[in-house]
Amino acid sequence: MILTLDQVGKDFGGLKALSDVSFTVNQGDIFGIIGPNGAGKTTLFNLITAIFPPTHGRISFKGTELVGLKPYKITALGIARTFQNIRLFSNLTVLENVMVGAHTRMKSGVWRGLWQTPAQKHEEKAARERAKDLLNFVGIEAITDLSDSLAYGQQRRLEIARALAVEPDVLLLDEPAAGMNESETEDLMHLIRQIRDMGKTIVLIEHDMNLVMNICNRLAVINFGLKIAEGTPADIQANSEVIEAYLGKEDA
Amino acid sequence: MDFILNPYYLQIGMFIMINAILGVSIYLTLATGQLSLGNAGFMSIGAYTSALLTLKAGFPVYLAIPIGGFAAAAVSAVIGFPALRLKGLYLAIATLGFGEVVRVVFLNLKITNGALGLSGIPSLGILLGKALSSAGFDQGMGGLSVQQLSNVSVLLILLILVVFLVFFSLRLSRCRVGRAFAAIKTDETAAEAMGINTTYYKLLAFLLGAFIAGVAGALAAHITFYIGPKDFDYHRTVEILLFAVLGGSNLVWGPILGATLLTMLPEVLRAASDYRMMIYGAILVTMMAFRPQGLISEETLRFWKAKLGRRKEHDLNS
Ligand SMILES: Nc1ncnc2c1ncn2[C@@H]1O[C@H](COP(=O)(O)OP(=O)(O)OP(=O)(O)O)[C@@H](O)[C@H]1O
Ligand SMILES: [Mg+2]
């Protein structure tokens, strides 16, 4: 029970983007969230990371209530995310992007940065080495290039590396396979499993059913802001309401 | 040598340095992507604080100048909290308004002598001259008179300050704080999601910018003997903004180049000095249309590095 959502809802003006969604993610899960376009999946991530507050409901992480906390506090607690529409820092290099992810795990302020004290140098070197390791792990070589010079699939991987630099317990991935071809998606599945095996918990929004059914151990299905089903991939595939709302369309 | 020691050129040199310092000040606030137009206001707070402390309270100049900077920073902290909730154009308008409020306050206070301004402010040059005389240089040195010597010293002190601020900015851009600034500049939401306390860093950049503008104002006061509210009106704000627009704001070199060029411009084009604001307007529009990144951008730097690097290789090979 690392992450729990309890009756979470979000209204945008008159639009009920989410209503009374509850679920629990357990340590070590690869927890999938699926649903049609505009169902409210990204909104769920935005609520967990406090991009905006929920209209009602509670969200708790390792026993800490998250609602009311600032986004940077939540990140520091150990939740990191990627974005559906890639949001890299285009004015920074690939390596620097990952080092920004390590921000909360570092301490040096203006004074130490100005004089490059031994403590600052040591910290900076450690962060750089760790960032290089992470980039190596996700398979990016051009680390001194500006981040927007990377190919699309690589940018998605860079977002994952940047999020891992936070040293999170829970990693939220918003459509990580979007825009990837089959072999890239295959590699991504392998990568996500490796991250889970590092002891991280993963919550994953994805439209690629092959990926979702293969790597998730549990799934929640959102439709029009409501959770219509939850269970193992086998449960979900057998659920008639889900087939009607979502999966059926794929087969048709 | 005489050419360089001409007091008129020395004076222009000092103004270039003061404006370069102001350039660094706007560079730092822009580093987090905030367009603050309050720099003339902060500059005037520094100038009046330091002038009044020396004139009315007998503070030594070397103490009054940094206090001027701290006064500007303190005011920026007070207005920063509400102002930094505003984004883009709204922040620009609010800070522009702030600058005008400060000017009107100085215009109406008794202690600042209203529209007449303050004169007889202890001058850095004269103070240094006295110090030099009492140190036994009253006959000058190396063929220079005490006055020349002290003017050169003032210029040197300002130059050292500019060099230090460049060093500071370069070091900053390569550390955790600088990366946080850069991240906020491109994508505030993503920066916050990566664990950066955006409010803190934006306020920090705002404060640093205000402090440096305050120091620049205080230095200007002790170089020109006289300050009045007119010195810090919105023309001044536009001028400072133009340092960044002309030179570019992505690297600290940009506003420094912009400040240098724009300070020399009216001196070179004496005849055109009546049309200064018009020329500024033309520069602003031209830059926006043809080179919005300013004269110096990362690409410019990379280009010249590659070119100079190649020349060096060539020299070595031949
Ligand atoms: N900041 C916002 N302001 C207003 N409406 C919003 C906002 N964010 C999302 N919405 C609306 O909420 C609904 C759910 O959007 P959301 O992005 O969560 O869908 P999604 O499930 O992620 O869809 P997709 O699969 O297309 O990414 C949509 O109707 C969307 O227009
Ligand atoms: Mg979405």
Answer yes or no: is pLDDT of A249 > 60. no
Task: Note whether A92 and B196 are within 8 A (CB).
Answer: no
Nearest to B92 by CA among B83, B101, B100: B83
Cβ-Cβ contacts under 8 Å, A116 against chain B = 171, 175
Residues of B with CB under 8 A from a CB of A: 168, 171-172, 174-180, 182-183, 185-187, 189-198, 204, 208, 250
- The identity of residue B51, as a single letter, is A
Give the pLDDT score at A39: 94
C-beta of A183 in contact with ligand 1 (< 6 A) = no
Interface residue of B30, B173, B176 to substitute, partner A, most A CBs within 10 Å: B176
Q: pLDDT tens per residue, chain B (318 residues)?
A: 566 678 888 889 999 999 999 999 999 999 999 999 999 999 999 999 999 999 999 999 999 999 999 999 999 999 998 888 888 889 999 999 999 999 999 999 989 998 889 999 998 888 888 888 888 777 767 777 778 888 889 999 999 999 999 999 999 999 999 999 999 999 999 999 999 999 999 999 999 999 999 999 999 999 998 999 999 988 899 999 999 999 999 999 999 999 999 998 877 777 777 787 888 889 889 998 999 999 998 888 888 888 887 776 666 665
Confidence tier at A48 by pLDDT (50, 70, 90) = very high
- CA B272-B273-B276 angle, to 5 degrees, is 95
How is chain B split into domains, by residue range?
2-233
C-beta of A225 in contact with ligand 1 (< 6 A) = no
Domains and CATH numbers, chain A: 3-78+168-247 (3.40.50.300)
Q: What torsion, rounded to 10 degrees, do the Cα atoms A79, A83, A84, A88 define? A: -160
Mean pLDDT of A215-232: 95
Residue A164: closest CA among chain B residues belongs to which residue? B194
**What percent of chain A stands above pLDDT 90?**
92
- The identity of residue B181, as a single letter, is F
Confidence tier at A163 by pLDDT (50, 70, 90) = very high
C-beta of A35 in contact with ligand 1 (< 6 A) = yes
Beta strand residue intervals within A129-176, DSSP E? 170-174
Per-residue CA distances from A32 to A206, A232, A240 (Å): 7, 10, 18
Nearest 5°: phi and psi at B9?
A: -70, -35
A73-121 pLDDT per residue, tens = 999 999 999 999 999 999 999 999 999 999 999 999 999 999 999 999 9
- CA A200-A201-A203 angle, to 5 degrees, is 135
Answer yes or no: is pLDDT of A250 > 60. no
Give the pLDDT score at B129: 83
Paired sense of beta strands A218-223 and A226-231, if any: antiparallel
**What percent of chain A stands above pLDDT 70?**
98
C-beta of A43 in contact with ligand 1 (< 6 A) = yes
A101/chain B closest Cα distance in angstroms: 5
Minimal-distance CA residue to ligand 1 atom 24: A37
C-beta of A38 in contact with ligand 1 (< 6 A) = yes
Q: Are A103 and B180 within 8 A, CB to CB? A: yes
Q: Which ligand sits closest to the CA of A10?
A: 1
Give the pLDDT score at B3: 63
Inter-chain contacts counted by CB atoms under 8 A, chains A and B: 92
* Ligand 1 atom with the shortest distance to the CA of A222: 21
Give the pLDDT score at B251: 94
Give the pLDDT score at A252: 40
Q: Are A72 and B189 within 8 A, CB to CB? A: no
A131/chain B closest Cα distance in angstroms: 13
A109/chain B closest Cα distance in angstroms: 6
Residue A96: closest CA among chain B residues belongs to which residue? B179
CA distance A92 to A230: 40
CA distance B225 to B217: 12
Q: Which ligand sits closest to the CA of A208?
A: 1
Give the pLDDT score at B301: 83
Distance of CA A246 from the midpoint of ligand 1 (Å): 17
Structure tokens at B86: 């505003």
C-beta of A41 in contact with ligand 1 (< 6 A) = yes
ipTM value, please give it: 0.94
